């Protein structure tokens, strides 16, 4: 960019962490297992439950796109707060899912771990942390930890959502993100 163009830019910054976690690893995996067990308890009478649980336990045995797509399609109900209550609405989404297998192992065939928790405290831009109440993979526990680690952050919990709040509660999601962006823009002006 030319220097005069840079002078005319009005730069405003903020970050939205949507369905995020401060780290991955055994503790993160254990929390996901715990939340899948809660899901299983809530839906114990559903005839699809055994296939969902089998898919969840088969994840580590999959290493190709076709197999991973099959597993993800089977797992779709776990990603929603009330998949079966809105199955007509969400079934096309489920049928359209296509997944790409990416190994979670590093070059030494050890689980690839990430940990951003030490850096989060130095985040200085306005931050909104968004989570669905029923998200099993990046749930409320992780959102609350992010919120506590990031000075001045805001926490928005979508009460009727799982991992896809923008699909399950689009108006609430949009309202919260718009409010945050508008407020961030106003602060930066």
User: What residue ranges do the domains of the chain occupy?
Assistant: 1-23+115-189, 26-113
**Whole-number pLDDT of residue 110:** 74
Q: What is the pLDDT of residues 83-115, one digit of tens each?
A: 999 999 999 999 999 999 887 777 776 777 888
Of all helices (H) and strands (E), which one includes residue 157?
Answer: strand 154-158
pLDDT surpasses 50 at 11: no
**Whole-number pLDDT of residue 53:** 96
**Whole-number pLDDT of residue 20:** 94
User: Would you call 111 helix, strand, or coil by DSSP?
Assistant: strand
- Structure token pair of residue 68: 């991973």
- Could you tell me the pLDDT band of residue 189, with boundaries at 50, 70 and 90? low
- Could you tell me the pLDDT band of residue 188, with boundaries at 50, 70 and 90? low
- Could you tell me the pLDDT band of residue 9, with boundaries at 50, 70 and 90? very low
- Could you tell me the pLDDT band of residue 163, with boundaries at 50, 70 and 90? very high
- Could you tell me the pLDDT band of residue 12, with boundaries at 50, 70 and 90? low
What are the contacts of 61-70 at 24+ separation with CB within 8 A? 62/101, 63/101, 63/103, 64/101, 65/98, 65/99, 65/100, 65/101, 67/101, 68/99, 68/100, 68/101, 69/97, 69/98, 69/99
pLDDT surpasses 60 at 133: yes
Q: Supply φ then ψ for residue 2, to 5 degrees.
A: -75, 155
Return mean pLDDT, the chain.
89
Mean pLDDT (whole number) for 174-178: 96
Closest CA to 14 of 124, 116, 146: 124
Mean pLDDT (whole number) for 113-131: 91
Closest CA to 17 of 186, 179, 150: 150
pLDDT surpasses 50 at 10: no
pTM of the predicted structure, to 2 decimals = 0.86
Query: Could you say which architecture CATH assigns to the domain 1-23+115-189?
Result: 3-Layer(aba) Sandwich (3.40)
């Amino acid at each position: 960019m030319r220097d005069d163009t840079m002078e005319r830019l009005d730069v405003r910054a903020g970050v939205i962490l949507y369905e995020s976690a401060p780290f991955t690893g055994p503790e993160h995996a254990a929390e996901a297992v715990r939340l899948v067990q809660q899901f299983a308890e809530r839906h114990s009478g559903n005839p699809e439950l055994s296939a969902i649980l089998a898919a969840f336990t088969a994840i580590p045995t999959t290493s190709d796109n076709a197999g991973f797509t099959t597993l993800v399609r089977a797992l779709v109900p776990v990603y929603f707060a009330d998949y079966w209550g809105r199955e007509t609405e969400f079934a096309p989404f489920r049928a359209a899912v296509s997944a790409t297998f990416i190994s979670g192992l590093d070059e030494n065939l050890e689980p690839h771990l990430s940990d951003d928790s030490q850096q989060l405290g130095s985040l200085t831009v306005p931050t909104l942390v968004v989570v669905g109440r029923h998200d099993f993979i990046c749930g409320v526990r992780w959102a609350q930890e992010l919120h506590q680690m990031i000075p001045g952050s805001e926490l928005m919990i979508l009460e009727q959502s799982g991992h896809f709040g923008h699909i399950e509660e689009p108006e609430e999601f949009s309202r919260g993100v718009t409010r945050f962006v508008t407020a961030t823009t106003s602060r930066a002006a």
